[in-house]
């Protein structure tokens, strides 16, 4: 892990970024990601035939959490992962935070028996096209992004961008990381869309698309 000193710096920078980029300064602020998730559940549960794209599944903790709270039988859940862990090191400011292979589920998809779930196994660069994005984009979308790394997050967002519309919701587990997930938010989402904050934690962020960004 990076030193406690550099971690404090990164988190302070995330708070400043939220104030600069987001309505309501990134508020409300929650202590844990599950508290943030709980506040989004009613918004998503109201949507008809939601399609969820989960980018970064690992052992399926988040998948199980959400599926148990979203009961719509027409919901479609797509889980993307190598299931063998991070394909590269996870670096921040030149420091390696996690080694390649971290978060490996041993090549196994989670033991979740839910007919609404489809797994897309392999590098997202190869699997993101397995989904019929034109069909998915006609339905409300929830993107759950937890790849940790810049490159796969960029690939996921670029596949989704042509299909995103007002009301679609996105969750980033590591939005605080200016070298990875936050870099992808800044490069791909911020120039194209106006974004309403549903809330954040010290590291995560939930956003809703409110419209195209003018000019
Ligand atoms: C932090 S874990 C996900 C944890 C999970 N969302 C949870 O909350 O329990 C990050 C995951 O991203 C996956 N991942 C990272 N880069 C990837 C890529 N290029 N293609 C597919 N999966 C990738 C890793 O295999 C790893 O399982």
Token reading at 24 = 């309501």
Question: How far, in Å, CA of 58 to CA of 72, rounded?
Answer: 24
Domain 4-21+30-163+172-212 has CATH 3.40.50.150: yes
Domain residue ranges in the chain: 4-21+30-163+172-212
What does each of the 215 residues of the chain score in pLDDT, given as a tens digit?
Answer: 456 666 677 777 888 888 887 777 778 999 999 999 999 999 999 999 999 999 999 999 999 999 999 999 999 999 999 999 999 999 998 999 999 999 999 999 999 999 999 999 999 999 999 999 999 999 999 999 999 999 999 999 999 999 999 999 999 999 999 999 999 999 999 999 999 999 999 999 999 999 999 87
| DSSP 8-state code for residue 186 | I
87 pocket-lining for ligand 1 (C-beta < 6 Å): yes
Question: How far, in Å, CA of 182 to CA of 150, rounded?
Answer: 8
SS3 59: coil
| Nearest by Cα to 22 from 160, 209, 212, 214 | 209
Q: Are residues 127 and 80 in contact, defined by beta-carbon separation less than 8 angstroms?
A: yes
Q: Tell me the sheet residues that pair with 205.
A: 172, 200
Whole-model pTM: value is 0.95
Q: How far apart are the CA of 56 and the centre of ligand 1, in A?
A: 3
Best mutation site among 82, 144, 173 for ligand 1, i.e. most ligand atoms within 8 A of its Cβ?
82
């Amino acid at each position: 892990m990076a030193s406690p000193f550099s971690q404090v710096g990164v988190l302070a920078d995330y708070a400043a970024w939220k104030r600069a980029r987001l309505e309501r300064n990134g508020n409300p602020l929650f202590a844990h990601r599950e508290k943030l998730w709980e506040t989004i559940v009613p918004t998503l549960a109201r949507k008809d035939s939601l399609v969820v794209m989960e980018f970064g599944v690992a052992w399926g903790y988040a998948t199980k959490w959400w599926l148990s709270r979203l009961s719509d039988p027409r919901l479609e859940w797509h889980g993307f992962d190598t299931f063998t862990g991070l394909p590269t090191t996870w670096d921040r400011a030149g420091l390696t935070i996690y080694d390649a292979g971290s978060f490996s589920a041993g090549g196994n998809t989670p033991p979740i028996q839910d007919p609404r779930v489809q797994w897309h196994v392999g590098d997202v660069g190869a699997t993101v096209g397995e989904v019929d994005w034109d069909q998915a984009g006609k339905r409300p979308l929830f993107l759950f992004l937890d790849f940790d790394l810049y490159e796969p997050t960029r690939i996921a967002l670029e596949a989704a961008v042509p299909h995103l519309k007002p009301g679609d919701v996105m969750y980033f587990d590591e939005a605080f990381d200016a070298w990875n997930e936050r870099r992808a938010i800044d490069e791909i989402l911020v120039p194209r869309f106006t974004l309403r904050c549903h809330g954040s934690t010290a590291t995560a962020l939930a956003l809703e698309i409110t419209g195209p960004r003018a000019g």
